[in-house]
Amino acid sequence: MEDSFDTKKLITMNLLLISNSTMAGGEYLSYPMPQIKKHLEGIKEIVFVPYAAVTFSYADYEKKVQNRFNEIGVKVHSIHRSKEPRKMILNAQAICVGGGNTFALIKKMQEQGLLEPILRKIKSDVPYLGWSAGSNVCCPTISTTNDMPIVQPLSFKAIGAIKFQINPHYLDANPEGHAGETREQRILEYIKANPKKWVVGLREGCMLKIQNGRIHLIGEKTMRLFKYGTVTRELGKDDDLSFLL
C-alpha cells in the first residue's frame, strides 16, 4: 500500500467520519443525514461495504441504508453482490462503509483486497463516508475499536487514509456499578504502547469532516484528544485541528 501520510496527498481527501449511526431514542442515521446529504451533493450512486454486519444479512443492511438514502436520492449498491469487488470500488462515485463489528469488517475487506483501491479512490477526491467501524477502518489500524475480536483478520492494518486513530462512541465514564476500565484508561494503554499516535475520542453525535486539507469537528460535543507525553485535552468545533493531518 502507498504511504498515506503525505500532507500534499491529504489535501484532496473528502471524508465524513461519523462516531455512531443512531442516537439513543432516535431513528437510524437520522442525526447525521443533513451532513451526509451535503457530503454527497451531486452523487447519485454509492458503493456500500456491509461487512461489519454479523447478526443480520448484508442484504438487510443494504436495504436499511437504502431506505434512509432514498431521502437524498442516492442509490446504494452493496459490494457483497459483486463478483469483482475491487473493480466495483475503482468505478465508484462514492464509498460508504457501515458500522458493526470492526474485526468482521476488516477481515472481509482484507480478504477481498479492498484497502488499497479504497485508499486510491480517497486520494483522488472520491467522497468517503463511514460510521463507527466504517470510521475505524479509515485509520492506520483498527487498534482503537471498541469491538470484540470475534474473528481474526490478517492484521490490524486498515486503510490508512488518516494518520491518527479514532475511538468512536467515546464515553467519559463506565456505567454505574461497573468496576472495569474506563474508555480513557484503555486509550492510555494504547498510547503508552504506541507513543507516536494521536487518538481522537469521538463522542456520539459527533463527526469529523476532512476536505481541502482541513479537518472540522461537527456536533454539539467536544472531542477528547490523547497522545503519549501530552496533556489529554478537549477540543471543540472552533478549534484548529489541522495538526492531525
Q: What is the pLDDT of residues 120-145, one digit of tens each?
A: 999 999 999 999 999 999 999 999 99
pLDDT for res 1? 37
In a domain, 219, yes or no: yes
Of 1-15, 39-53, 177-191, which range is least confident?
1-15
In a domain, 116, yes or no: yes
Query: Looking at the annotation, which residues are catalytic?
Result: 132, 147, 169
In a domain, 1, yes or no: no
Q: Is the pLDDT of residue 175 over 90?
A: no
Question: pLDDT tens for residues 176-213?
Answer: 777 778 899 999 999 999 999 999 999 999 999 999 88
Q: Is the pLDDT of residue 56 over 60?
A: yes
The mean pLDDT value for 217-230 works out to 97
- Whole-model pTM: value is 0.92
Task: For the chain, give the mean pLDDT.
Answer: 93
CB 220 within 8 A of CB 181: no
Question: pLDDT tens for residues 61-101?
Answer: 999 999 999 999 999 999 999 999 999 999 999 999 999 99
In a domain, 138, yes or no: yes
pLDDT for res 12? 78
What is the strand order of the sheet 45-49 is part of?
75-78, 45-49, 95-97, 128-131, 14-18, 207-211, 214-218
Question: pLDDT tens for residues 143-156?
Answer: 999 999 999 999 99
In a domain, 100, yes or no: yes
Q: Which domain holds residue 149?
A: 7-244
In a domain, 198, yes or no: yes
Residue 109 half-sphere exposure, CB side, CA atoms within 13 Å?
33
Place of cell 468496576: 179
pLDDT for res 117? 98
In a domain, 2, yes or no: no
Beta pairing class for 207-211 and 214-218: antiparallel
CB 108 within 8 A of CB 51: yes
As for how many domains the chain has, the answer is 1
The mean pLDDT value for 167-177 works out to 85
In a domain, 215, yes or no: yes
Question: pLDDT tens for residues 26-44?
Answer: 999 999 999 999 999 999 9
What CATH number is given to the structural domain containing 192?
Answer: 3.40.50.880
